[in-house]
Amino acid sequence: MKKFIFSLFSVFLFFISCGGKGGGDSSATLLLLLAAGSGAASNDSSSASEPCMETTERTVAANNGPILNYYGAGKSVYYSNPQSFSVGPTKPNAIFYVEQTHSYTTSGDFRPVHYYFYNSSGSSFINREVTLGGQFGTSMLGYGSNSSYYLGSSSPYVSFGLANTWYLDLNGPVNSSFRIKQTVGCKAMTEDERWFNTSNNSNSTNGLSHSWPRRKKMNVNIIFLNNSYATKSLEAIQTALDRFKTLYLQNTVNVELVFSLKTSSDTEFNAISDISSEDTSLSGGLLRLYTSTASLQDPKALNIYIASEATGEGSLLGMAGGIPGLPGFTGTRASAMIVFVEPHRSTGAAGSSLSSADLVILGNTMAHEAGHFLGLFHTSESAGSSSNSGLNYTRDPLIETPYCSTSRASFLVNDGYIAPQECLGTGITNASGYNMMFWASDGVTNQNQITGEQGWVIRRNPLAY
Ligand SMILES: [Zn+2]
């Protein structure tokens, strides 16, 4: 069976063995630093007909450390003073994008920029996405994999009862500074969002019966690259857009997508030459696309590039710029996502229009990559999940999401990977093949399921309004 792969990053997951290092380990220190690092905020909340975001951008000194041998022998880490921010009922989500230019990005010396979060008591935790990335990373709160999964102490939903001050601690291998962009959503949570509690059934339908009563909207900016499609119009891919829209209109999400169109005639990106380089000057490269075509992007929309293909990446359907991506800014490495047309083709010559059936799969890919951009992980990673507890890089950190255990990777075909057909059971550990965020598509299984909690993440993204 051919598997099609949804990819979010080509860099591998990198595990930091010890948590809690990197500064801010006492409340006294934190209190002294309350005023540090604040930047001028711009509030875009004037109209209810568009997303509400507070965006800030600043340089933060890496003025602590080094912690010797942190990444291995001879590999130090430096860190910042804790950066304070607030989340709560009126600010349901804060997203951070951090960059530190350095050369330690090869597999032999991979040292990422990463984060720790601290609460006002000085307790630290890391998010599921904390160690992704080389020179840059994105992260968000509230949503994470701390002991209570979301914002810290006690029950998962309690922390949304009040505004909370949190602290961000930046870590990286170079003793200079970090560049940080920060977007805080300022669309107040509805009461049902604020007091949301997860379903707790031990079967494959867990979370699927939730219904969000208030419909939200989200703008989607479709960007056709030069060589991407026979006709560069929304109508030409309407079947895909309809599928994408239908998935997000389900009761468990209830977000209406509003599409707009941009086109490019730049031949540099007739095919994407590279999807993994961190060199923003590499001709035809994905990061060069994201960083050099900011004028095509909309800071208040989900930016989706439509490309012909990625050279040498035959089965790659699409990629997101991060989990989450960075709304509110254009021209960063995390400002967009991309889908590739040709890997979706089952019939017709390259460059011709896709069949309706292939357009439906393209719509699934858009929905999946958008899910990543908005903060969702795969239900289970490719080898299956090993556990349903704590911080776990083999499954989504949401406690509600059914997943698919490692043992299922040999259920039908013993190849070490879970296929959709191996994860269609009725329990909570042999399921999620039907979920929109399953790691791969087989082109047959209808991956339309999204849990209420997955929808809760989407609805609290700053792009939702
Ligand atoms: Zn994916």
Q: How many residues does the chain have?
A: 465
Domain count, the chain: 1
Please give the distance, rounded to the nearest whole angstrom, from the Cα atom of residue 67 to the centre of ligand 1. 34
List residues, by chain if needed, whose CB lies under 5 Å from ion ligand 1: 6
Q: Which domain holds residue 141?
A: 27-186
Q: Is residue 82 part of a domain?
A: yes
Please give the distance, rounded to the nearest whole angstrom, from the Cα atom of residue 117 to the centre of ligand 1. 25
**Per-position pLDDT tens, the chain of length 465:** 234 444 443 332 222 222 222 332 222 222 222 222 223 333 443 346 899 999 999 999 999 999 999 888 999 999 999 999 988 888 889 999 999 988 887 767 888 888 888 877 777 777 666 555 688 888 888 775 544 455 544 443 345 656 678 889 999 999 999 999 999 999 998 888 888 888 889 999 999 999 999 999 999 999 999 999 999 999 999 999 999 999 999 999 999 999 999 999 999 999 999 998 888 999 999 999 999 999 999 999 999 999 999 999 988 999 999 999 999 999 999 999 999 999 999 999 999 999 999 999 999 999 999 999 999 999 999 999 987 665 678 888 888 899 999 999 999 999 999 999 999 999 999 999 999 999 999 989 999 999 999 999 999 999 999
Please give the distance, rounded to the nearest whole angstrom, from the Cα atom of residue 294 to the centre of ligand 1. 24
Please give the distance, rounded to the nearest whole angstrom, from the Cα atom of residue 339 to the centre of ligand 1. 12
- DSSP lists the bridge partners of residue 64 as 79
Please give the distance, rounded to the nearest whole angstrom, from the Cα atom of residue 142 to the centre of ligand 1. 21
Supply the angle between the helices 238-248 and 356-374 in degrees, to the nearest 10: 40
Least Cα distance to 81 among 168, 21, 140, 139 occurs for 168
pLDDT at 159: 53
Q: Is residue 230 part of a domain?
A: no
CB 146 within 8 A of CB 119: no
CB 420 within 8 A of CB 433: yes
Please give the distance, rounded to the nearest whole angstrom, from the Cα atom of residue 59 to the centre of ligand 1. 31
Please give the distance, rounded to the nearest whole angstrom, from the Cα atom of residue 439 to the centre of ligand 1. 5
Please give the distance, rounded to the nearest whole angstrom, from the Cα atom of residue 114 to the centre of ligand 1. 21
User: How much is the mean pLDDT over the chain?
Assistant: 84
**pLDDT by residue (tens digit) across 117-126?**
887 777 777 7
Q: Is residue 357 part of a domain?
A: no
pLDDT at 345: 96
Q: Is residue 403 part of a domain?
A: no
Least Cα distance to 309 among 334, 335, 341 occurs for 341
Position 179: which residue type? Answer: R
Please give the distance, rounded to the nearest whole angstrom, from the Cα atom of residue 372 to the centre of ligand 1. 7
CATH code, 143: 2.60.120
Q: Is residue 382 part of a domain?
A: no
**pLDDT by residue (tens digit) across 257-279?**
999 999 999 999 999 999 988 88
Please give the distance, rounded to the nearest whole angstrom, from the Cα atom of residue 7 to the centre of ligand 1. 5
d(CA 58, CA 36): 11
Task: Return the structure tokens found at 62.
Answer: 């890496």
Integer angstrom CA distances of residue 157 from 309, 357, 381: 42, 40, 26
Phi-psi category of 201—alpha, beta or left, where left has phi over 0 and alpha has psi -120 to 50? beta
CB 302 within 8 A of CB 368: no
d(CA 431, CA 355): 30
Please give the distance, rounded to the nearest whole angstrom, from the Cα atom of residue 27 to the centre of ligand 1. 38
pLDDT at 150: 56
Cβ neighbors of 439 (< 8 A, separation 6 or more) are 5, 6, 378, 379, 380, 381, 382, 418
Please give the distance, rounded to the nearest whole angstrom, from the Cα atom of residue 46 to the centre of ligand 1. 34
CB 362 within 8 A of CB 4: no
Please give the distance, rounded to the nearest whole angstrom, from the Cα atom of residue 54 to the centre of ligand 1. 28
pLDDT at 155: 40
Please give the distance, rounded to the nearest whole angstrom, from the Cα atom of residue 382 to the centre of ligand 1. 10
Please give the distance, rounded to the nearest whole angstrom, from the Cα atom of residue 364 to the centre of ligand 1. 11
Q: Which residue has the tokens 């209420």?
A: 452
Instruction: For the beta carbon of residue 5, count every other beta carbon within 10 angstroms.
Output: 17
Q: Is the dihedral of CA 76, 72, 133, 312 positive or negative?
A: positive
Q: Is residue 172 part of a domain?
A: yes
Q: Is residue 102 part of a domain?
A: yes
Least Cα distance to 318 among 231, 403, 440 occurs for 440
Q: Is residue 163 part of a domain?
A: yes
Please give the distance, rounded to the nearest whole angstrom, from the Cα atom of residue 119 to the centre of ligand 1. 30
Please give the distance, rounded to the nearest whole angstrom, from the Cα atom of residue 184 to the centre of ligand 1. 24
pLDDT at 389: 62
What are the two backbone dihedrals, phi and then psi, of residue 137, each rounded to the nearest 5 degrees? -160, 155
Please give the distance, rounded to the nearest whole angstrom, from the Cα atom of residue 438 to the centre of ligand 1. 7
